[in-house]
Structure 1
Amino acid sequence: MFLLIDAAGRFPLGDDGEPLLIDAPPATADLSSPVRIKPGVTAARVRGVDAADLTGPGGGTGDARTHAGHPLAARAVGLVNARERYRYDPADGSELTWGDGGIVARGASGTAIFPRLDPCVIGVVEDPGRQRILLVENSRRPGYFTLVAGYVDVGETLEAAFAREVWEETGRRVTDIGYLGSQPWPASGALMVGMTGRTADIDALGPTDGELTRTRWATRAELETLTLAAEGTIARALIEHWAHQPDARSQQNHPTRTTRKEHSNGD
């Protein structure tokens, strides 16, 4: 069975919205970077064929964004991308040979090289009363509101990275930082780590790095009126996780009620 990813990064979906496995690639297809993602299933890049041409009557196409949390799709996209990105041993420049599973590559030295994963923090920033969260619009991905995010720097903890990103992007200090969940992001080889924190800085106190075009506070009711990050992304999952928590007023009225649960985005 094959899960084929076309040149645009799309793969076919079945009628149920699941990645569609086919028995054999079309005769006109040009396959490269094959990876065995589980017993009996091989993922590969396909050229000469569009993913839309491989779907069933009621199917569509998916990609690394729509199915970022899907175990099979995320593994397929991530490992095929890794085979295409990492072709030479950084130690001696020799060409890499990947194993069938796409997990280990070796060059002339025989040293094992693994697909790279870059940790990236993303998270909810609440106001002191837990009535609002800070939403942002990224200049590189305009058109919707999402959460502050950025890569973890060398020598940083996840908590320090999140505090730094919030400060650099919004000019606000953040405290009470915690972990909520994670999601693979195979499109860029990242691992998204969901965080939460609070800030008393309603307005920016410092200069920002220009990465954002808009920053705004939003209540739970206002979230319904805004265009948010796409469903299936950890940004959307974290926003909805916060939206469905009791607000501070409910917590005061129900002091014994559970107000925080761990979230793991595995869809």
Structure 2
Amino acid sequence: MFLLIDADNAFPLTPAGEPKLFDVCPHPTTTRITLPDGTVAARLERVRAAELVEYTGDARSHAGHPQVARAVALLRARERERFDPADGSPLTWDDAGAQAHGASGRPIFPRIDPSVIGVVQNADGSAILLGENARRPGYFTCIAGYVDVGETAEAAFAREVMEETGRRIHDVRYVCSQPWALSGALMLGFTARTSDVEPQSATDGELTRIIWASREDLAGLTLAREGTIARDLIARWARGDLAGGN
């Protein structure tokens, strides 16, 4: 069976919204990997998923789907990681795309970058801090960023909130995680509180707009896409699932 993924990381779906698998590969492909269940994930060459079927998904809409997340991440790693960083020799990947070797024989594994993302609540939990990213405008999402060298995930989230919004946070608690195959990240989701209604320092300019949003406000906002950890965290807060803390 084949899971066909195009250059934009889109793939055919069944009418039920599940990845559509093909008995044979109907079009030329480039990179291929074999998933644990025997399915072959293959990169379509010069063909878009939307040309094959009526329904398609992509790495954002199905970010938490285990088969999709693994397929997209390993295809990306195999296509991008081509040389051994120790000696520059070409890498040879195994069929599963999970391990490679260069001239030294030292095993090379796909890189995973930890990142943090989370809901920042005001003091009484009646509103959350949302931002519009300068590089991805058009919707509001949670504050996020990568973990720096030597940081804990909690410290990284506090730093990112301060850098991007100028707010100090406390009561940082882990909630959930999601692989983000588009960048090779593992996103660690948090919730936190702040007493800073207004920014207490200058920001880094990564966010073009920063707002406080109540539960009533959410219906009128364009939010992060369904299926993303950002949307899940916002939805959990809206339901009252993240109400703990002081």
Unaligned runs of 5+ in 2: none
Percent identity for Structure 1 against Structure 2: 60
* Distance in 2 between residues matched to 1:206 and 1:53, nearest whole Å: 50
Select which of 207, 210, 219 maps to 2:205.
210
Which residue of 1 is the match for residue 9 of structure 2?
Answer: 9
* Distance in 1 between residues matched to 2:159 and 2:241, nearest whole Å: 28
Instruction: Deviation per CA, 1:107-140: give whole Å up to 9, x if none.
Output: 0101011001111100010111111111111111
Correspondences of 1:133-172 after superposition (within 5 Å): 133-172=128-167
Which residue of 2 is the match for residue 36 of structure 1?
Answer: 34
Counterpart amino acid of 2:18?
E
Correspondences of 1:226-265 after superposition (within 5 Å): 226-245=221-240
Counterpart amino acid of 1:20?
K
Q: Name the count of aligned residue pairs.
A: 244
Counterpart amino acid of 1:138?
N
TM-score (norm 1): 0.89
Which residue of 1 is the match for residue 123 of structure 2?
Answer: 128
Counterpart amino acid of 2:23?
D
* Distance in 2 between residues matched to 1:172 and 1:40, nearest whole Å: 48
RMSD of aligned residue pairs (Cα, Å) = 1.3
1:144 is paired with a residue whose SS is coil
Instruction: Deviation per CA, 1:155-207: give whole Å up to 9, x if none.
Output: 00001000000000000101110100000100111111101111111000100
Which residue of 1 is the match for residue 66 of structure 2?
Answer: 71
Give 1:246 shift: 7.0
Give 1:39 shift: 2.9
1:236 is paired with a residue whose SS is helix
* Distance in 2 between residues matched to 1:202 and 1:7, nearest whole Å: 43
* Distance in 2 between residues matched to 1:63 and 1:79, nearest whole Å: 15
- 1:108 and 2:106 aligned: no
Instruction: Deviation per CA, 1:192-248: give whole Å up to 9, x if none.
Output: 11011111110001000000011111111111111111110000000010010179x
Counterpart amino acid of 1:4?
L
1:207 is paired with a residue whose SS is coil
- 1:61 and 2:56 aligned: yes
Counterpart amino acid of 1:38?
P
The runs of at least 4 aligned residues of structure 1 exceeding 4 Å deviation read none
Which residue of 2 is the match for residue 18 of structure 1?
Answer: 18
TM-score (norm 2): 0.96
* Distance in 2 between residues matched to 1:67 and 1:228, nearest whole Å: 16
- 1:183 and 2:183 aligned: no
Give 1:4 shift: 1.0
Which residue of 2 is the match for residue 220 of structure 1?
Answer: 215
2:70 is paired with a residue whose SS is helix
